[in-house]
Amino acid sequence: MSTIAQWAPAVLALVLVASPGVWRYARHTITIAHEGGHALIALLTGRRLQGIKLNSDTSGVTVSRGRPSGPGVVAMYFAGYVTPPLLGLGAAWLVTEGHVRQLLWATVVLLAAMLIMIRNVFGVFSVILTGGVMFVVSFYGTDDLKSGFALFVAWFLLLGGVRPVGELQSRRMRGKAPQSDADQLARITRVPGLVWVLLFAAVAIGSLFYGGQLLFPEF
């Protein structure tokens, strides 16, 4: 793969994440991953998943039933902000190992599974649109297109996983996020919300760093 083909997906992902006007639309994809993380951990920890809503303002909510405290609910709340960057890290590893096709099809399957639990029209539209793009590229794209798109997916998840953490703390400082994941965790564990935000940031930045090393080992 040429140098331009390697850099172009990273630059495009950075533009989407850094541009405020574009980010408000591109962020919906990160919200899908965020809520998917909540849902997956809820199921893995034995909670009853009742549904997921994805809203047009890029917010989302995952509703489950189970114990109001304990390791399971802590893991569920923690999963949201760390899922996009961890998925990006996993995508970066798959790309570097040559598993581009598997990455794209796995994403389609995960989105299809998530669609079953969506409980609002906008959420259904968002997941179908995202899954449709992945399906078209996976089924009809050339090998070069698939490789470039897989690189873009990895970079977008890595970069897009960092910005929401900063936005979260900004809202918290203005008192506009009393029900955020960090504040829910603070109420459950008595560990300050800022500590949880810093942990989210550590995972996101660490994933970006290691993912970048995988994708650009020469740097």
Provide the pLDDT for residue 2.
60
- C-alpha distances (whole Å) from 160 to each of 29, 33, 142, 205 are 9, 11, 26, 11
Which of 70, 72, 67 is CA-nearest to residue 42?
72
Predicted model pTM: 0.95
d(CA 173, CA 143): 46
- Alpha-carbon distance of 91 to 134, in angstroms, equals 14
Rg of the chain over all Cα atoms, to the nearest angstrom: 17
The token pair at 206 is 């660490």
93-144 tens-digit pLDDT: 999 999 999 999 999 999 999 999 999 999 999 999 999 999 999 999 999 9
Please state, in angstroms and rounded to a whole number, the distance separating the CA atoms of residues 182 and 195: 8
- Give 49-108 pLDDT, tens digit per residue: 999 999 999 999 999 998 888 999 999 999 999 999 999 999 999 999 999 999 999 999
- Name the token pair of 5: 């083909």
For the chain, what are the domain ranges?
3-215
What type of residue sits at position 119? R
Token couple for 52: 């997921």
Q: Is residue 3 predicted with pLDDT exceeding 80?
A: no
Per the listing, tokens 């994403």 go with 107
Contact 203, 86 (CB under 8 A): yes
CA distance 162 to 159: 6
Q: pLDDT at position 67, please?
A: 87
DSSP 66: S
Alpha helices by DSSP H, listed for 59-174, are 71-96, 100-115, 121-140, 143-160, 163-173
Q: In the prediction, which pLDDT does 61 show?
A: 96
What's residue 1's pLDDT? Answer: 57
